[in-house]
Amino acid sequence: MGIILLPLGALVIGLYLWAVVKGTRWAYRKFSIQGAIAAVVFFILLPTWDALINQYYYRQVLCEHPEVALQVYEKIVLPPGLYDEKGNPKLPDSFGDPKQLFLGRYVFDIRYKDEGSYPITANRHFYHGTYDVTTNRYLSKFEDYQPTGGWLWTNVFRLVLNTADYDWMMSRGPKQSCFDQTQFWRSFSDAKTKPFTVR
């Protein structure tokens, strides 16, 4: 996979840098320094404009939704034996396995769906929360988003790579979240325990 990607990436980047140099020189000769500056700005924005808009939409719109925060809708009192000495619920390790429901009805649910339109508003919408399968309702929930739009120019790789290779290439790098890491794991833990914590 890397043997295929390396020369392809080098070729695409090399051709683009060649176009940047040629275009900037032409703009300088034609319009002097202002033309050269405009050409540089153009070549910077050409491959990144959609990613910049997608990031703005992600940070300023999606991550500002009110559901991107822990919501506890209902409290459940567990039998006394299911609390520790500090009053914290003792949840099984299997909490989250839909085949092993806690008390026959509760599960920690994680799911996502792809939303928006590529390349501007595309995103992956995550749902995390404690779910009651008997009522089809969340006891608690917090939501999160990851941007999946932008970088339209990278579709050139689709012409020469199979789908698996292309998806592998585009999945490299850290995954984004509306939360920092500490906030995410705190919300993740609280979404499990808060519905059963009666305090």
163 dihedral zone (left: phi>0; alpha: psi -120 to 50; beta): alpha
For 90-142, the DSSP string reads: ---TTTT-TTS-BTTTEEEEEEEEEES-TTTT-EEEEEEEEEETTTTEESEEE
Q: Reply yes or no on whether the pLDDT at 12 is more than 80.
A: no
Q: Reply yes or no on whether the pLDDT at 122 is more than 80.
A: yes
46-76 pLDDT per residue, tens: 888 888 999 999 999 999 998 899 999 999 9
Most confident range (mean pLDDT) of 80-89, 106-115, 166-175 is 106-115
pTM to 2 decimals?
Answer: 0.74
Please report the beta strands in the chain, taking only residues with DSSP state E, as ranges in sequence order: 71-72, 106-115, 123-132, 137-138, 140-147
Domain segments of the chain as ranges: 1-46, 65-196
Residues of the chain with pLDDT > 90, as a percent, come to: 50
Instruction: Give yes or no for a cis peptide into 147 (omega within 30° of 0).
Output: no
